[in-house]
Structure 1
């Protein structure tokens, strides 16, 4: 593992769209030095993500305990604020490498190639990436790329893997493409017990649009919400009607449980209007 990391200092694949009018980083590898103290604000998010740092530093203790779900985190917030810096700080605090795959850049690139807007030969890719994307449908190419980044991260564990803009899967053209990409992410997440000292962070600005399977326990069950997000707005307690603060699981005034869970299997439920059945056990919620 050390030889693997020492042979790489910083790598990134940058894609040019619209004849150079816009650029996106498709894939990245680096050894961040940023720390939580370098980021102003976001105290609640830092506290939540410190648990990921502790997991990376002492994976054996987490494996024996009850918090092995910390391998997966859903980071909710505006990409123009502290989303990426916080992920880099997790890797920096734990002194581990960071792998990044931009789902939005991958979707946009493969859609442009499929519609002859872009040619694969015009993209500056590594030999491995070019071989993965040389042929096949959008669904096949995307699945291979997702599997590739997970494989690279596993070889370098302990590490952090960021799946940026994971909600961009919804921008794929067909339901088959969306389902195949999603299935590949689920397969990789469910199989990461082979390398338990790897934290996978999925970043999104629109958590309500995510497939419920991603929120299954041991995948991206733990949600970290940034201060600038609309999801951090204060809400009245449904019982005593007093104003609660973001991040509260119980009302401090009356003790009411504020986080939605299934009364039958206790799985954490996403905050989506109109939900009537549990996605885990199928039991009615009312």
Structure 2
């Protein structure tokens, strides 16, 4: 097993390199300034003029260095003139050259070693510094050039050989999905067992499921079990603004996998590049389509004799290109559904394995209440319970912490800081009581789990219905009872405050009811006149796709759908009004209890609604 390389401190090295660069620049600038800084030029004077001025006593000093002379005029402290004479100062000192009036100080000095060295350094140092700066800039340019050359390289990360691995035994639930993936892993470990029977390794495995169901975790478990190179990449990492980069990265990724075969490639969120072709405005030159074309060729092209398996994950299999889904590319489609009750309990046990809990924690009861929750939701509940327990300085997690975490994740956190006046509290109590009574008396409605007038999430109050057990199907009667209880809040407001007294508090209820009614007609074929007809609209395409494709039904059918939706909503409102109008005393009693206690659990709410009755007119005759 290869040893793990220490991580490079990139930020520190970049800081050191940047500091060194600016230090070199500053030193080079100082050296060049010292070398090229302007000095006061000396005036060239003929030697005859120098001798004349010296004889007349106008000069203070004559300095000689070889044949060069520097002359300082009287009343000056620095040389201002320069001259030249063969033989230097010695010629001036010959008899008869200067008369006795020449009082200038004459000196002859050879250049010192320090002066020679300084002259050399003032020339060499700038050249050396400029050379170093030039080399540094060349290295930077080469680094940028190498980055540009690697622009089309794959960004896939290699996993599966780390010490800490996720195994199938670490993942609870999804037994069917794990079985399909275990076969893939077993084929990679023992290929001769399958090849002896003429079996071929599946080219691709597509994991399909709702967000949070554990698709990526299952792929990581494959990496932990297979003990082969596992290349992981997201679909969005292929696509860049430059056409051809995505296809180049696909080629590079498959080339790396083939060199390390047997190997596994995992593409997360493959719908980012695998959508149906021809839906974008870029046509055949669209970068995403070019990337998809390259994936199709690599998976099942001419060079198909490779021991590489592709695992992909998506929650939108309906938008994928048909060529990607056919046998020979993704041979096996693994559907990862939401966990059932026993699976939810197993998942909760996994997440509470390293969390201290007291004896009051009942994971089986929590699993029963969390129907429809994904594995990610359950993990979030476990984490929230630990956070709540730590916030109150407890050493263990209690059942109250678990209940609060469940409610926080499911219906949102309490907003006790939100202040409501007495009228708003009363209106909210009537509204929630209307939901609860309608849902309580209708025979096909789920039982009331909790009623509260404390604002939670984005709502002013919540009436929470929970199914007693997991359900795979929903009947027309159940849908209609759901619609009626959704209308209960608005109807309760109407009966107590009149048509002009209704508020915006029912806005989310009405949106939800309208969406359910439309889904019944369009997707489930549950209309009265449009019974057993489905008018599915694919909303997964791009905007240009929606603009160019015709609606799958006529305008007359659209009008009929609107009428059917209106009829369902009207019927639900009528049934809710019949129920509440026949149970006004129960409504008042429940409203008063909510104003007093603010929150009623299932048992307490049932006691207050024990005398509620179902009018015959509101019942659906089956």
TM-score range, shorter chain: 0.5 to 0.7
Counterparts in 2 of 1:234 and 1:155: CA distance versus 1, 3 Å:
farther
- Structure 1's unaligned 5+ residue stretches are 12-25, 115-136, 237-272, 275-286
Distance in 1, Cα, partners of 2:330 & 2:263: 17
- Structure 2's unaligned 5+ residue stretches are 8-154, 340-371, 373-470, 475-535, 538-622
- For these two proteins, the number of residue pairs brought into alignment is 190
By relative contact order (CA 8 Å, sep 6+), the higher-ranking structure is 1
1:56 and 1:199 in contact (8 A); partners too: no
Are 1:180 and 2:290 matched, yes or no? yes
Structure 2 residue matching 1:200: 3-state secondary structure: strand
How far residue 10 of structure 1 moved from its aligned partner, in angstroms, is: 11
Are 1:55 and 2:184 matched, yes or no? no
Distance in 2, Cα, partners of 1:62 & 1:146: 29
Counterparts in 2 of 1:59 and 1:69: CA distance versus 1, 3 Å:
closer
Distance in 1, Cα, partners of 2:260 & 2:316: 30
After alignment, is 207-216 or 30-39 more displaced? 30-39
User: For residue 325 of structure 2, what is the aligned residue in structure 1?
Assistant: 215
C-alpha RMSD over aligned residues: 3.3
Counterparts in 2 of 1:103 and 1:7: CA distance versus 1, 3 Å:
farther
Distance in 1, Cα, partners of 2:6 & 2:473: 43
Q: Which structure's CA Rg is the greater one?
A: 2
User: For residue 166 of structure 1, what is the aligned residue in structure 2?
Assistant: 270
User: For residue 46 of structure 1, what is the aligned residue in structure 2?
Assistant: 178
User: For residue 160 of structure 2, what is the aligned residue in structure 1?
Assistant: 31
1:76 and 1:204 in contact (8 A); partners too: yes
Greater helix share, structure number: 2
Distance in 1, Cα, partners of 2:222 & 2:260: 16
1:147 and 1:184 in contact (8 A); partners too: yes
How far residue 172 of structure 1 moved from its aligned partner, in angstroms, is: 7.0
1:3-22 → structure 2 map (5 Å cutoff) = 6=2
Once the two structures are superposed, residues 112-146 of structure 1 have per-residue CA deviations (whole angstroms, 9 ceiling, x without a partner) of xx3xxxxxxxxxxxxxxxxxxxxxx33x1000011
User: For residue 74 of structure 1, what is the aligned residue in structure 2?
Assistant: 206
User: For residue 260 of structure 1, what is the aligned residue in structure 2?
Assistant: none
1:131-280 → structure 2 map (5 Å cutoff) = 137-138=242-243, 140-169=244-273, 170=275, 174-176=282-284, 177=286, 178-191=288-301, 193-196=304-307, 198-228=308-338, 234=472
1:52 and 1:71 in contact (8 A); partners too: no
After alignment, is 186-195 or 80-89 more displaced? 186-195
How far residue 36 of structure 1 moved from its aligned partner, in angstroms, is: 0.2
Once the two structures are superposed, residues 69-96 of structure 1 have per-residue CA deviations (whole angstroms, 9 ceiling, x without a partner) of 5231111124534111111111221211
Q: TM-score, normalised by structure 1?
A: 0.58
2:238 and 2:250 in contact (8 A); partners too: no
Structure 2 residue matching 1:73: 3-state secondary structure: strand
Once the two structures are superposed, residues 217-255 of structure 1 have per-residue CA deviations (whole angstroms, 9 ceiling, x without a partner) of 12102100112299xx9579xxxxxxxxxxxxxxxxxxx
Counterparts in 2 of 1:179 and 1:66: CA distance versus 1, 3 Å:
farther
User: For residue 18 of structure 2, what is the aligned residue in structure 1?
Assistant: none
1:102 and 1:165 in contact (8 A); partners too: yes
1:69 and 1:219 in contact (8 A); partners too: no
Distance in 1, Cα, partners of 2:6 & 2:260: 14
Q: TM-score, normalised by structure 2?
A: 0.28
After alignment, is 147-156 or 77-86 more displaced? 77-86
Distance in 2, Cα, partners of 1:58 & 1:157: 14
Counterparts in 2 of 1:6 and 1:165: CA distance versus 1, 3 Å:
same
Greater strand share, structure number: 1
Counterparts in 2 of 1:65 and 1:57: CA distance versus 1, 3 Å:
same
How far residue 152 of structure 1 moved from its aligned partner, in angstroms, is: 1.0
Structure 2 residue matching 1:29: 3-state secondary structure: strand
Distance in 2, Cα, partners of 1:100 & 1:160: 8
1:165 and 1:202 in contact (8 A); partners too: yes
Distance in 2, Cα, partners of 1:95 & 1:220: 22
1:10 and 1:29 in contact (8 A); partners too: no
Distance in 1, Cα, partners of 2:228 & 2:191: 13
How far residue 8 of structure 1 moved from its aligned partner, in angstroms, is: 7.8
Counterparts in 2 of 1:185 and 1:52: CA distance versus 1, 3 Å:
same
2:298 and 2:304 in contact (8 A); partners too: no
From 211, 221, 234, give the equivalent of 1:102.
234
How far residue 46 of structure 1 moved from its aligned partner, in angstroms, is: 0.4
User: For residue 221 of structure 2, what is the aligned residue in structure 1?
Assistant: 89
